[in-house]
């Protein structure tokens, strides 16, 4: 798979670096599809999923070489079906179940400059599997404080449990906690959770679908910490 080191090294003007997050997302999805298909190449996948009758029309969603652009990250596939037309991600999911997961996970948006409120973070927490979600979302709200949905457990205990789980939901939850710290303007929590992010990078290095891009995740977070980019 093509990696984005050369693009990161360039100091050219134009689209901001955060766009590379979505390029990573597309490449990881394509890698998942390739593995699920028995290592089919982008050209083979294009033949499998392309409507050859309309291939000559060169439409944005269906043109020769499109899957090669997915491989380079220059083009992202449409993720959600709309207006009765099935997206390429959903079409591929029908043939290779489990692949859509890798492009739809909140992990990607959590690494971008997209603003998120506490309500947004709550929705992400609610999307996690129960073993992660229940560490952060209270099963029942307190009658005295019905507006409070966050558990009041010790932050270190939560992070330690998330590291023990060690899957992409757990890593994403730690990124959510990062954003919480920023929203609360808590430098102490921000720095504390960063130490757990460093440990998350070691976990990412052990995940075949993400390991090839781990250098970029590290760079992204370093720029947040150092204030080189106003990511949030």
Q: How many C-alpha atoms does 213 have within 13 Å on its Cβ side? A: 24
DSSP 52: T
| Confidence at residue 11, expressed as pLDDT on a 0 to 100 scale | 40
What pTM, to 2 d.p., does this model score? 0.76
Query: Above 50 in pLDDT, residue 2?
Result: no
Query: Above 50 in pLDDT, residue 232?
Result: no
Instruction: Output the six-digit token pair for 182.
Output: 């920023």
Q: Which residues contact 229 (CB under 8 A, 6 or more apart)?
A: 16, 17, 18, 113, 223
206 φ/ψ angles, rounded to the nearest 5 degrees: -95, 0
State the SS3 of 196-214. Answer: HHHHHHHHHCCCHHHHCCH
Strand, helix or coil for residue 142? coil
- The answer to whether 165 and 135 have CB atoms below 8 angstroms apart is no
Reported as a single tens digit per residue, the pLDDT across 80-96 is: 888 878 889 999 999 99
pLDDT higher for 173 or 61?
173
What residue segments make up the domains of the chain, in order of their start?
16-104, 107-226
Query: Above 70 in pLDDT, residue 101?
Result: yes
């Amino acid at each position: 798979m093509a990696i984005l080191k050369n693009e990161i090294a360039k100091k050219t003007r134009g689209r901001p670096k955060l766009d590379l997050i979505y390029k990573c997302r597309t490449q990881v999805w394509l890698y998942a599809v390739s593995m699920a298909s028995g290592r089919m190449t982008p050209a083979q996948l294009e033949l499998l999923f392309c409507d050859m009758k309309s291939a000559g029309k060169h439409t944005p969603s269906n043109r020769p070489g499109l899957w090669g652009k997915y491989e380079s990250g220059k083009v992202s596939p449409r993720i959600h079906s709309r207006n009765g037309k099935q997206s390429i991600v959903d079409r591929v999911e029908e043939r290779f179940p489990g692949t859509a997961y890798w492009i739809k996970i909140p992990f990607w948006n959590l690494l971008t400059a997209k603003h998120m409120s506490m309500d947004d973070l709550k929705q992400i927490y609610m999307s996690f599997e129960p073993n992660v979600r229940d560490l952060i979302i209270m099963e029942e709200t307190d009658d005295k404080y019905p507006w409070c949905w966050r558990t009041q457990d010790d932050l270190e205990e939560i992070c330690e449990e998330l590291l023990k789980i060690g899957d992409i939901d757990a890593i994403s939850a730690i990124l959510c906690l990062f954003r919480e710290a920023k929203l609360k303007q808590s430098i102490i929590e921000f720095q504390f959770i960063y130490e757990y992010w460093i440990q998350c990078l070691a976990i990412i290095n052990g995940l075949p679908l993400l390991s090839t891009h781990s250098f970029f995740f590290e760079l992204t977070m370093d720029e947040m910490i150092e204030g080189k980019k106003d990511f949030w």
